[in-house]
Structure 1
Amino acid sequence: MRLNQVTVPCVEYEKSVAFYKTLGLIQIVDSPPRYARFECPADGWDEPATFSLHHVEGWPGADDPLVYFEVDDLDAEYERLVAAGLSFISPPVDQSWKWREAYLRDPAGNRICLYQAGEMRRFPPWRIGPSAHEK
C-alpha cells in the first residue's frame, strides 16, 4: 500500500496555489477555482507523493489534520520562506522525539509542519520492528 495523496480545503484558490508553490510543490493540475494538484519534489524517491487543494465555502481553518512536509535542511528552508514573505506560527525547534519542526498555516488556515527527521522519521530508537540497521 502507498499513500497516493492528501487533499486539504482551500478558500481562496490563487492564494493557496501560490502558497504551496512557494513551499516548493510542483503544480500538475490547475482547475480553478475548484481543484489543484501538486507533486512533492521526488528527491530520489521512486514515485513522488501528491498533494491537492479542493475549494470549499466557509472553511474556518483547523489545527487537525496536520500536514507534514519533510525537508533536508529545515533552517535554510525556514529562512527562504520567511524571506519569501511567509509567516510562521513557530520557528524551527528540536523536539523530544528527535525531529526538528516549524509550523505555519496555509491561506485557508490549515496547519502545516515543515520538519527535518532523517532516519528518525522511520527508525526512531523506540520503533516496533526492525531497526535502521536491519532495513
Structure 2
Amino acid sequence: MNLNQVTLPSIDPENSVRFYQLLGLRLIVDALPRYARMECPDGASTLSIHLVEKLPQGELPTLYFETERLDEEYQRLKEAKVNFDLAPTDQSWLWREARLKDPDGNPLILFFAGKNRKNPPWRVA
C-alpha cells in the first residue's frame, strides 16, 4: 500500500491551484472551477483541490512537502510574497522546517529531514 493522493477542500480552487503551482506542483487534471489535480515534481504523489461552499472548521490535517533545498525554496517563496508562520528552523526531532498555510488555511510544512524522516535514532525496530 502507498499513500499517493490527498484531496483538499477549497472555496476558490483556481486560486489554490495557482498557489500550489507556485510551490512547484504541476497541473495534470483541469476541471476548474470545481476540481483540479496536480503532481509533485519528485515522486509519484498527487494533490487535488475540490470546490466546497464552506471550509471545514477545527483542526485540519497538515501537509508536508520535503525538499533538499528548503532554505532556497523559502527565499524564493518569500520573494513571491508568500507568507510564512515560521521561517526554516531546526527542530528537536532532527527536521528543518518552515510553516505556512495555503489560501484556504490548510496548514503546510516545507521541510528537510533526509534519512531522519523514516529512520530517526528513536525508530522502532
Under a length normalisation based on structure 2, what TM-score does the superposition of the two structures give? 0.94
Query: Retained in 2: the 8 A contact 1:35–1:52?
Result: yes
Give 1:55's match in structure 2, choosing from 51, 55, 65.
Answer: 51
Q: Any runs of at least 4 consecutive aligned residues in structure 1 with deviations exceeding 3 A, and if so which?
A: 60-63
Alignment of 1:34-53 (within 5 A): 34-42=34-42, 45=43, 48-53=44-49
Q: Which amino acid aligns with 1:35?
A: Y
Query: Retained in 2: the 8 A contact 1:60–1:109?
Result: no
What is the Cα deviation at residue 63 of structure 1?
A: 4.5
Query: Whole-Å Cα distance in 2 between the matches of residues 62 and 27 of structure 1?
Result: 29
Deviations 1:56-75 (Å, cap 9, x if unpaired)?
Answer: 11216655200100011111
Secondary structure class of the residue paired with 2:30: strand
- 2:18 match: 18
Secondary structure class of the residue paired with 1:128: coil
Alignment of 1:88-107 (within 5 A): 88-107=84-103
- 1:83 match: 79
- 2:29 match: 29
Deviations 1:51-108 (Å, cap 9, x if unpaired)?
Answer: 1111111216655200100011111110000111111111111100000111111111
Secondary structure class of the residue paired with 1:9: strand
What is the Cα deviation at residue 4 of structure 1?
A: 2.0
Structure 1 residues 18 and 50, CA, compared in 2 at 3 Å: closer, same or farther? same
* Aligned sequence identity (%): 53
- 1:6 match: 6
Please give the root-mean-square deviation of Cα atoms over the aligned residues, in Å: 1.3
Secondary structure class of the residue paired with 2:7: strand
Unaligned runs of 5+ in 2: none
**Does structure 1 residue 112 correspond to structure 2 residue 108?**
yes
Unaligned runs of 5+ in 1: 130-135
Under a length normalisation based on structure 1, what TM-score does the superposition of the two structures give? 0.87
